[in-house]
Chains A and B, each alone.
Chain A
Amino acid sequence: MSLILRNGRLLDPGRGLDQVGDLVLEGDRIRALGPGIAAASPGSLDCTGLVVAPGFIDLHVHLREPGFEYKETIESGTRAAAAGGFTAVCAMPNTSPVNDNAGATAYLIQRAREFGHARVYPIGAITAGSQGERLAALGAMREAGAVGYSDDGRPVRNAQIMRRALEYASMLGLPVVQHAEDLDLSAGGSMHAGAVALRLGLRGISSASEATVVARDLLLAEETGARLHIAHVSTAASARLLREAKSRGVRVTAEVTPHHLSLCDEDLVPYDANFKMNPPLRSRADRDALIAALADGTLDAIATDHAPHAAHEKQQEFDRAPFGILGLETALPLGLRLVAAGAIPLSRLLDALSGAPARAFGLPGGALVPGGLADVTVFDPAAAWTYDPAQGCSKSRNSPFAGWTLQGRAVYTIVGGRVTFASRGNLDTP
C-alpha cells in the first residue's frame, strides 16, 4: 500500500530540508522524497501550496481515559489530535486509576490501537498513585511501553524521592517530567500573582513557585546525570535557569504551551474559568521571555497540556473551577501567529512540534527521511478560520481561544502511512 503526496513544500528543519517536491510513502515507512519523483495518479494527494512536515508530536496531553470519559476519551482525544495535525501524543498518567503500573500502561496502548487516530505514548507515574511517597513500577511500565515518567499536576515534593526517581529512570533510559510547582508557595492560588490577581481578589500563584522547583531539579539532574524534562515552562525565571543549565551541559529539555506563548494575565476575561490553567497565564514580560526562549532553543518543544473539562465544571466560581484548557486543535495556528509576527522562523516552529519532541523523549518519527516512520502532517499555512470549540473534535469546549480568527490548519494527518484526518472537501476557506 503506497501513498503519494505530490508537489508540497517539503519541510524538515532537522535535515535542513525545504523544497517543493513529492513524498512517497510505502506501508508505514517513507520510501522516497524529492522534486518530480512521482507523477499524478489516482489516489495521490495534491499538496500544491501546502506544507508537508514531519508528523507533530505532543509531549503533554490529558486523554482522561480511564476514569473521566465524560471529559475526553482516547478516541475523541486522538481525533482532536489528528484534526490539529498531531500524529502522536504522550498521555499523562493522572487518570483514575492513575497509570502507575504495567497493566494500566498496557491497557492504554491497547485501547489506543483499537480506537486511536494518533499514536499514544503513555507516560507513567513517578510515584505510586502519584502520591509522592514511593516510586511507581518504573521498570515494568517501561517494558509495557511507557516513554517517560511524571506525576503531572502533583509535583514531586520530596527532593530525595525526586533524586531517586531521576537516578532510577536514567538507568532505564527514560526522562523524568516535572510539573514544577512549590505547593506551599502556590497554595490556594488560581491565577498568576500580580496586579490583575490583586484587583480581582484572587489568590496568586507566584513565578517563584515554579522557578524554585526548576532550580532544585536542575541541581538534582546535574548531580545525577539523569535526563530531566520540565513541563509547561511559564516564567522568565525558569527559562533563565534552563538556559544557564543547558549552557553547562545539564541533560535537560523543556516544553512550553501555545497559550503561555499567546496570552498573559492581562488578557484574562475576569472570572472566566476558560482562562484558568496551571501554571497560570503569566505577565507580559514572562510571555515575551518564553517566546525568546523558544526562539533560541532553550525551550525545546511546544506541547499543549491539552486538559479537557466539562462545561459544568468550568461554569463555577473561578477559585473552585478546575485548572486546564484544550490545546490540540489550536496549537498549529497559534504557533503560526508567532511566525507571522516575526518572533520565530517557521523552521523553529516545525522543529518544536516534531523533531524536538521526538529527540526529547527518544520517540520515533519527527523527520522526513527515507526509511523513517511515515508520520506526516500536511497543513495549509494560509487557511483562515474561526475557532469554535463546539465544532471541534474534543468532547469538551474549555478554550480561551473560542471565537478567535486563526490562520493555518491541518489538511492531512498521516500516521504510519494511513490518513487519520483529511479536511479537504469540507474546509471552510474561500
Chain B
Amino acid sequence: MSPPPHLLGIEGLSAARIERLLSLAQRFHAAAPPRSLAGKRLLVLFYEASTRTRTSFEVAARRLGAETVSVTAQSSSIEKGESLLDTVYTLSAMVIDGIVVRHASSGAPRLVAEHVDVPVINAGDGMHEHPTQALLDGFTILRHRPAIAGLKVAIIGDLLHSRVARSNLLLLSRLGAEVWLCGPRTLLPPEFAAYGPGVRLTHELEEALAGADVVMVLRIQMERMRESFFPSEAEYVARYSVTRERLRTAKPDALVMHPGPMIRGVEISAEVADSPQSVIREQVENGVLIRMAVLHDALQGAA
C-alpha cells in the first residue's frame, strides 16, 4: 500500500504535483469550486497560535464541502501534557479523512504522518517548512508574471527562523528564479548557500533590491528569538526596513509580498505595504485557493 499523499514540505514534492496544485488553484479561481470533499472530515490541529492560516484552511475545506474539526493547543488535552502522538491517535479514532498540522517543533507533521493512514498537510512546522505559503506565493507571482524562471526574487529579514523563507527558497529556486536572501549576519547563516544553485546571500539591502522583480519581506520573529540578534529595532529599521526610497532600485513594477503578520514601520513601511505594487492582500485571497487545491488533491484520492 502506498502512503497517503501527504504534503509535508516543498522538499521532496514532485514537479508534476507542484504543477497540478498551481493549475487546480487557477481552476478554482476561474470557476465556482465543486463540492468535491462533501462528506469528508478534516482535522485542523494547531499547536501554535495562528489566525490567518487556520482560518484559511477552514474556509478552503468548507468551500469544497468538507467538515472541519479544529483543535488548538489552548483548548485541549495538549495543554494537559498529552503527547502529540497520543492526541493524534485519540482524534483519529473519531474517523477523519485528513489532518492539517501546525506545530512549533520542526518535523512534527512528519512524525504524525508516520503514525496515521490519512493524508497529513503541513501548515507550518517550527523553522522547517510552510509549503502552502510557498505555493500561494508562487501562485500569486504567476498571476502577475508569465513565469517564475529568470525572475530575481529578494527575500528580506529574519531568514534563520523563517519556515516561509525555507519553503519559498526551495520552490522558487526549483522553478528557476534567482533568489537573493538578505538580512543581518546573525539571521542569515552562510549555510543557506548550500540550498542550491541560484541562491545568493547578501547583508546589504541595496544589493538584494537592485533590479528585483519580487520583494518578499519577512517579519522579525521575536517569539523564536531567545537571545539578542541585533542591537535594537531602530538599528534593524535603519538597515533593513523596506521603504519607498529603497524600493526605487528594484524594477519599477516589482511585486511586494509579505506572508504576515506584518509589523508596519519595522520590516516594511506603511507606504510600501499599501502601495499599488503590494500584493499582500491578494496573497491572503490566494491562500484559500491554494489550500483548496491542496485539500482537494490530497483528500479526494484518499478512500
CA distance A175 to B126 in the complex (A): 42
Judging by beta carbons under 8 Å apart, are A201 and B129 in contact? yes
- B189 in contact (CB, < 8 A): yes
B26 at the interface (CB under 8 A from A): no
Residues of A within 8 A of B108 (CB): 317
Does A403 touch B at the CB level, under 8 Å?
A: no
Contact of A315 among B85, B107, B128, B192 (CB under 8 A): B85
- Is the pair A318, B191 in contact by a Cβ cutoff of 8 Å? no
Is the C-beta of B63 less than 8 angstroms from some C-beta in chain A?
Answer: no
CB-nearest residue of chain A relative to B11? A199
The distance in angstroms between the C-alpha atoms of A153 and B83, with both chains bound, is 24
**Whole-angstrom distance between the Cβ of A196 and the nearest chain B Cβ:** 9
8 Å CB interface, A189-244 against B: 194-195, 198-203
Q: Judge whether A317 and B191 touch: CB under 8 Å.
A: no
Q: Which of B11, B105, B163, B226 contacts A318 (CB 8 A)?
A: B105
B residues in contact with A317, CB < 8 Å: 84, 103, 105, 107-108, 111
- Whether A201 lies near B84 (C-beta < 8 A) is no
Residues on B with beta carbons closer than 8 Å to the beta carbon of A203:
127
Query: SS class of chain A's interface: helix, strand, loop or mixed?
Result: loop
Number of contacts between A and B (CB, 8 Å)?
Answer: 60
Residue A380 CB within 8 A of the other chain: no
- Does B166 sit within 8 A of A, measured CB to CB? yes
Contact of A316 among B84, B163, B195, B227 (CB under 8 A): B84
Least CB distance from A354 to B in Å reads 40
B125 close to A (CB within 8 Å): yes
Number of interface residues of A (CB under 8 A): 19
Cβ-defined contact, A201 with B106, below 8 A: yes
Q: Does A68 contact B (CB under 8 A)?
A: no
Count of residues in B whose CB is under 8 Å from the partner chain: 25
A319 at the interface (CB under 8 A from B): yes
Q: A318 near B107 (CB under 8 angstroms)?
A: yes
Q: Does A320 have its Cβ within 8 Å of any Cβ on chain B?
A: yes
Flag B170-201 by CB within 8 Å of A: 1 or 0 each.
00000000000000000001011011000000
A194 touches B163 (CB 8 A): no
Q: Which residues of A contact B111 (CB under 8 A)?
A: 271, 315-318
- Asked whether any CB of chain B lies closer than 8 Å to the CB of A312, the reply is yes
| Residue among A201, A312, A316 making CB contact with B126, cutoff 8 Å | A201
Secondary structure class of chain B's binding surface, majority of residues: mixed
For residue B40, CB closer than 8 A to chain A, the reply is no
- Using a CB-CB cutoff of 8 Å, which residues 166-204 of chain A contact chain B? 187-188, 194-195, 198-203
A319 touches B105 (CB 8 A): yes
The verdict on A200 contacting B191 (CB below 8 Å), with A187-B226, A188-B226, A315-B85 known, is no
Decide yes or no whether B110 CB sits under 8 A from chain A: yes
Contacts of B84 in A (CB 8 A): 316-317
- How near does chain A come to B185, taking the closest CB pair, in angstroms? 14
Residue in A194, A195, A312, A318 whose CB lies within 8 Å of B106:
A318
Which of A187, A195, A198, A271 makes the CB contact (< 8 A) with B110? A271
Asked if A312 meets B83 with Cβ closer than 8 Å, knowing A200-B106, A317-B105, the reply is: yes
A270 interface contact, C-beta 8 A: yes
**How many angstroms from the CA of A312 to the CA of B86 in the assembled complex?**
10
Q: B81 CB to closest chain A CB, in angstroms? A: 12
Most buried by B among A188, A199, A318, A319: A199
The answer for the CA separation of A201 and B110 in the assembled complex, in Å, is 13
In the complex, what residues of A have CB within 8 A of residue B103's CB? 317
Query: How distant is B227 from chain A, measured CB to nearest CB, in Å?
Result: 8
Q: Beyond A201-B163, A317-B84, list 4 extra A-B contacts (CB 8 Å).
A: A199-B194, A271-B111, A316-B84, A317-B105
**Pairs across A and B, CB under 8 Å, 12 listed:** A195-B194, A199-B11, A199-B166, A199-B195, A201-B106, A201-B129, A202-B127, A202-B128, A270-B107, A315-B83, A315-B111, A317-B108
